[in-house]
Amino acid sequence: MIPVKGYAGAKVAVLGLGRSGLATARALIAGGAEPLLWDDSPEARDKAEAEGFTLTDLGRANAFDGVTSLITSPGIPHLYPAPNKILARALEAGVPVDNDIGLFFRSFAASDWDDFETMPRVVCVTGSNGKSTTTALIHHILEVAGRPVQMAGNIGKGVLSIDPAQDGEVVVLELSSYQTDLARALTPDVAVFTNLSPDHLDRHHGMGGYFAAKRRLFSEGGPDRAVIGVDEVEGQFLANQMGMGPQDDRVIRISSGQKLDQFGWSVFARKGFLSEWRKGRQVASIDLREVSGLPGAHNHQNACAAYAACRALGIAPKMIEGAFGSFAGLPHRSQLVGERGGVRFVNDSKATNVDSAAKALQAFPRIRWIAGGMGKDGGITALQPHLGAVVKAYLIGHSARDFALQLGKTPHEICETMAQAVARAAAEAEAGEVVLLAPAAASFDQYPNFEKRGDDFVAQVQALIGG
């Protein structure tokens, strides 16, 4: 645990009692603060009381009298589409609002660091797609390299639940736009921006607000190194803002598809090969084509981001290359579930939007595509240019019939359930093809989350092929 500093003897309100909220409450107590806990959900309140916490109704009159700060969970709206009513009262009362990420950066450094030979470092990863894979890959590379490392944030533990730092340790944090938007302190040593595509637009009131939330990771504290994907104009703009010119190697530009040989430091992947360039010359190259845990151009971008972050931490190219080979990937993100008769089964349940589904559809040459669920605005119309590898689509869930109307000439079948879709795709698939779950939709019509949807796919496949 990281005890929260700066609030000893103070009353600190905590709104939202999920994983991060309860971890925050424990860390506040460890730092000598008095947390006042509340959640709009009776189930969450019951869980907190079962752990021994006392609840305080933050919705009552004068609830914020004497309160030093309000710490809110990332899922609670603070501005758009409208602030949570309790959070709005804190804003009206002038009570500073923060989150666990802000508390972490205020509290992570400790007095015993004076005795360390190598200062601990913090790497933060944000962006629209690939955050989790990039974060996990950085963590994996550092483990292989023998560096003490912890992973937290939007993946793994809550940030205040990690252990105090060891000599030379690296903490790798995945941060969503909800987390970067509100944190009052953001001071990573290395900050990574993977890419940007439309998502959470209601929460950020459009693309401008969404990008602004991501940009705060770079603008608030100023990282020593900024690793920035430049395949969209927002990344190009951010790289321009962070650097003093094209040769400023404090900015490492990354790309999947572009040759970036004119900058002070860049890492890019083209035709399956990752290249590192510094000051006009290539210094390293890695063949990514046979790295089973990182299939497709989107994962090659993730590889570039992780490679650049680890190079910024001093890890040698050969060490990174070896770690790529042993990276198994993450569940629900281009996860190879199994193979039968030359047919591979891949679980990409995390592909909940059109952009991430498009990347998955470009990763394999011949695809039996399982898609559907609770479709988002626009459905899958934007996927038309990416359907060339789809042999046939098998559609499930609430939006199955809407998706069928948007597939054009692509062969398809409405299957309704995951079990039927897996059975039909497996029965028709031929050697060399991939049965791919990449839903391009939310899961909430049939499953509580994308993980449960992916778990169902895995269970159906394993029952079919044995495993």
Was 356 annotated as part of a binding site? no
Stretch (H or E) spanning 98: strand 97-98
Q: Three-state DSSP class for 74?
A: coil
Alpha helices in 379-449 (DSSP H): 400-405, 418-428
What is the C-alpha separation between 461 and 467, in angstroms, rounded? 9
Q: According to the annotation, is 128 in a ligand binding site?
A: yes
State which amino acid sits at residue 193: F
Query: What is the secondary structure of 263-318 as a DSSP string?
Result: SSEEEEEETTEEEEEETTEEEEEEE-TT-TTS-HHHHHHHHHHHHHHHHHTT--HH
Report how far residue 139's alpha carbon sits from residue 171's, in angstroms, rounded to the nearest whole number: 8
First to last CA, the chain: 38
Residue-wise DSSP of 357-394: HHHHHTS-SSEEEEEESB--TTTTGGGGGG-TTEEEEE
Q: Check whether 68 is labelled as a binding-site residue.
A: no
Q: Could you give the count of Cα atoms lying within 13 Å of 398 in the half-sphere of its Cβ?
A: 13
126 touches 229 (CB < 8 A): no
Q: Distance of CA 458 to CAs 61, 278, 388, 389, Å? A: 50, 43, 25, 22
Spatial distance between the Cα atoms of 301 and 356, rounded to a whole number of angstroms:
13
Tokens of 356: 């991430």
**Residue 446 and residue 416 in contact, taking contact as beta carbons nearer than 8 Å:** no
What element of type H or E holds 337? strand 335-340
338 annotated ligand-binding residue:
no
Measured distance CA(270)–CA(254) in Å, rounded: 11
DSSP 8-state class, residue 5: P
Q: Is 133 annotated as a binding residue?
A: yes
CA dist 391 and 95 (Å) reads 57
Cβ-contact 234, 189 below 8 angstroms: no
Report the binding-site residues for ATP. 127-133
Report the binding-site residues. 127-133
